Chain A
Amino acid sequence: MTKWSLSTLSRLKSDWLFTVVTRSSACVAAAIVFLVVAFLISESIPAIRQIGVGRFITDASWHPLSDQFNLTPMIVASLTITLGAILIAAPLGISAAIYCQFYAPTAIAVWYRRLIELLSGIPSVVFGLWGLVVLAPIVARLGGSGQSILTASLVLGLMILPTVALTTQAALRSVPGEWLAGGAALGFCRSSTIRRIALPAARRGILGGLLLALARAMGETMAVLMLAGNVVEMPDSIVAPARTLTANIALEMGYATAGHRSVLFVSGLFLIAIVAVSVSLAGFGGAVDE
């Protein structure tokens, strides 16, 4: 759209109204994020004051009803499952993007992309159900009940794969054609062109995509809630059950009161902080490249 400033094109009264209404809507929409954070903080304050941040690490266990608030097993579980998901999604997602951008014939590339876009819209609760019915029995053969860190990581990896693939492809697409042509002129074969020119040039965009995927995996609730087993324990193997921070919120919010409820808001605040940092880093990386 054309850029106007208030003083240049026209100064009709109705335009003044239009400008004020639209700009204030934009500010209201942007302010919602502050409202969210403000409410999380105000609900967290009782826990931080009465219980103190230190006890989230030093308490003996997570037994909120008997005043024990150790969050570490859940933080560890969240990080482990997220890491597992990234380890699965990164190589496969990047390969899928490279295939789509450099190898697939145009007609196939279009449909391949559509399939991936479609999968990014499948509800997490449906992925969770699929994992529960199909994948958990298979994983159970390795030991445990089937509801474990491994199952949750596998399904979560599948869920964030579209994010990795789509952002990587967008980054690869924005590599200037001359650079690739230059590679061909130097006698590079296709794999060298990709490895030596395309991937380094798209590095920032790919990294940004991985950060977005990490944020999504960290915040994902339903699939993990249905697949990780939800036992609050320090996990000792990948087929052991675990409970993530997000699953803990979803499980206990229904009956939590007073200090317990407040601790759940603290974990929400912690999640939003992690996500905001990764999204800002991803945004800065992408923006600089443009």
Chain B
Amino acid sequence: MNSLTDRLVSLMIGSAAALVAAVLGWVLLDILYRGIGDLSWEFLAQPPEDAGRSGGIAPIIVSTMLILMVALIAAVPLSLSAAAALAQQRHRRFGWAWIASRCLDVLAAVPSVVFGLFGNAFFCVALGMGYSILAGGLTLACMILPILIHTTEHGLRAVPADYHYAAASLGLSRTTTFFRITLPAALPAIAAGLVLGIGRALAETAALIFTAGYVTRQPESLMGSGRSMSVHIFDMAMNVPAGDGRANATAALLVAMLLIINAAAMSLASKASAKLSGQTAEDMNSRQYV
């Protein structure tokens, strides 16, 4: 009797898991399949025509990359520095590092449309940037900051304590130890986190509509308005009649980019763990001979 229930449960769990995999696989392949036919060199290299129904998405790709660049330039140094401080602290409950981490947890969960509201009120209106690449990029920077800090902090914490003891015994200062030893050792893990942050930024839509704006032409400068690929998908699908074809093509391109980014993050992450375990083994060996 018991084994019958066991089999029944196995069957239920197995079929639920298969259903999940099937639906998720269906979504992914369906998106790629619908859009891939329209992808061509012209699509990548030409400006949109007829409200986007024909032509390509070249200026939109440029805007997307500019927004991403602004976001990374603003967020990466700050996240690295903040993670360096947090990784050195034991997170005692209600200590400052614990409080800072909880604040970042909440920031990570703020809905993207609320970031849009904030970005519009703060960057566009209060700081007078208007709808611009700069305002959109800085709003995105606030959004990806928590994930960058989180992954960087984990990367730094994974560096074995032996490294620090060795550095301290050689009389290196904490600053030197950080830049010469901890940072290089944690670099692949940090890069993996960075790639994840890029993926998150590329996927973002709601925060950009009211900060970076809507226009399809190529932005002249960072103060110009520009439309990201995700906003383009939304606009083509919802606001432009018969825009579905181009929306599908842009979606397929975006998903393909994210697949590549994801693969890069995975290989970097596995490299990170290999590097740290490999190096310790090497160090052990060389120590025997010295």
Which residues on A are within 8 Å of B, measured CB to CB? 1-4, 9-10, 12, 14-15, 17-19, 21-23, 25-36, 39-40, 43, 91-93, 95-96, 98-100, 103-104, 112, 114-119, 121-130, 132-134, 158, 161, 165, 189-192, 194-195, 212, 215-216, 218-222, 225-226, 246, 249-250, 253-254, 264-265, 268, 271-272, 275-276, 278-280, 283
CB distance from A263 to the nearest CB of B (A): 12
Q: Which residues of B contact A115 (CB under 8 A)?
A: 21, 24-25
Is B63 engaged at the interface, CB distance under 8 Å to the other chain? no
Determine, out of B48-56, B75-83, B273-281, the stretch whose residues face the partner at the interface: B75-83
A1, B157: Cβ atoms closer than 8 Å:
yes
Cα–Cα distance between A275 and B82 once the two chains are bound (Å): 24
- CB-CB under 8 A from B12, the residues of chain A are 95
User: Contacts A249-B116, A253-B116 known; A29 to B237 CB distance under 8 Å?
Assistant: no
Q: Is the CB of B142 within 8 A of A32?
A: yes
6 nearest CB pairs, A to B: A219-B111, A95-B16, A123-B203, A99-B17, A25-B81, A191-B9
Q: B247 — which chain A residues lie within 8 A by C-beta?
A: 129
Q: B206 at the A/B interface (Cβ < 8 Å)?
A: yes
| Chain B contact residue count (CB 8 A cutoff) | 103
A122 engages B27 (CB within 8 Å) = yes
CB < 8 Å: which of B90, B145, B196 contacts A32? B145
B21, B118, B230 interface centre (most CB from chain A within 10 Å)? B118
Residues on the B chain within 8 Å of A35, using CB: 118, 122
Nearest-CB distance from A278 to chain B (Å)?
8
Asked if A158 and B17 sit within 8 Å, CB to CB, the answer is no
Q: Is the CB of A1 within 8 A of B156?
A: yes
On whether the beta carbons of B233 and A126 are closer than 8 Å, the reply is: yes
Q: How far is the CB of B95 from chain A (nearest CB, A)?
A: 12
A40 touches which of B3, B79, B114 (Cβ 8 Å) = B114
Contact B84 A22 (CB under 8 A): yes
Contact assessment for B111 and A43 in the assembled complex, using a CB-CB cutoff below 8 Å: no
Asked if B14 contacts A99 (CB within 8 A), the reply is yes
| Known contacts A125-B234, A222-B234; A268 and B114 CB within 8 A of each other | yes
In the complex, the chain A residue whose C-beta lies closest to that of B162 is A2
Given A36-B114, A103-B13, output 10 extra A-B contacts at Cβ < 8 Å: A1-B157, A25-B81, A33-B103, A112-B21, A123-B258, A190-B6, A226-B238, A246-B206, A249-B117, A276-B106
Q: Are A2 and B161 in contact, with the CB atoms below 8 A?
A: yes
Q: Give the number of A-B contacts (CB < 8 Å).
A: 292
Residues of A within 8 A of B248 (CB): 129, 133
Q: Are A126 and B254 in contact, CB atoms less than 8 angstroms apart?
A: yes
- 9-residue interface stretch from B36-44, B172-180, B215-223, B282-290: B172-180
B246 to chain A, nearest CB (A): 11
Cross-chain contact A250 with B203 (CB below 8 angstroms)? no
Q: Determine which of A1, A17, A249, A276 lies in contact with B113 in the assembled complex, contact meaning CB atoms within 8 Å.
A: A249
Which residues of B from 173 to 210 have beta carbons under 8 Å from A? 173-176, 178, 182, 196, 199-200, 202-206, 209-210
> A22-B81, A23-B85, A119-B24 in contact; A283/B175 too (CB < 8 A)?
no
A253–B164 Cα distance when bound, in Å, is 51
| Residues of A contacting B: mostly | helix
Bound-complex Cα distance A3 to B165 (A): 11
Q: Which of A96, A114, A279 is within 8 Å of B109, CB to CB?
A: A279
Choice from A15, A98, A189 contacting B174 with Cβ under 8 Å: A15
When the two chains form the complex, which single residue of B16, B17, B88 contacts A4, counting CB atoms closer than 8 Å?
A: B88
Q: Name the residue of chain A whose CB is nearest to the CB of B126.
A: A39
Q: Decide: A22 and B10 in contact? CB cutoff 8 A.
A: no
A89 to B242, CA, bound (A): 32
What A residues does B97 contact at CB under 8 A? 26
Chain B residues near A116 (CB, 8 Å)? 20, 24
B114 touches A219 (CB 8 A): yes
For A119, the closest partner residue in chain B by CB is: B24
Residue of A nearest to B78 (CB): A25
With contacts A119-B24, A191-B9, A271-B114 taken as known, whether A222 is within 8 angstroms of B14 at the C-beta atoms is no
Q: Is the CB of A36 within 8 A of B14?
A: no
Instruction: Tell me which residues across on chain B come within 8 A of A33, comparing CB atoms.
Output: 103-104, 106-107, 110
* B45 in the interface (beta carbon within 8 A): no
- Set of chain A residues within 8 Å of B101, measured between Cβ atoms: 30
CA A218 to CA B27, docked complex, whole Å: 22
Q: Which residues of A contact B164 (CB under 8 A)?
A: 1-2
In the bound assembly, the distance between CA atoms of A136 and B165 in angstroms comes to 61
Which B residues lie within 8 Å of A19 (CB)? 85, 174
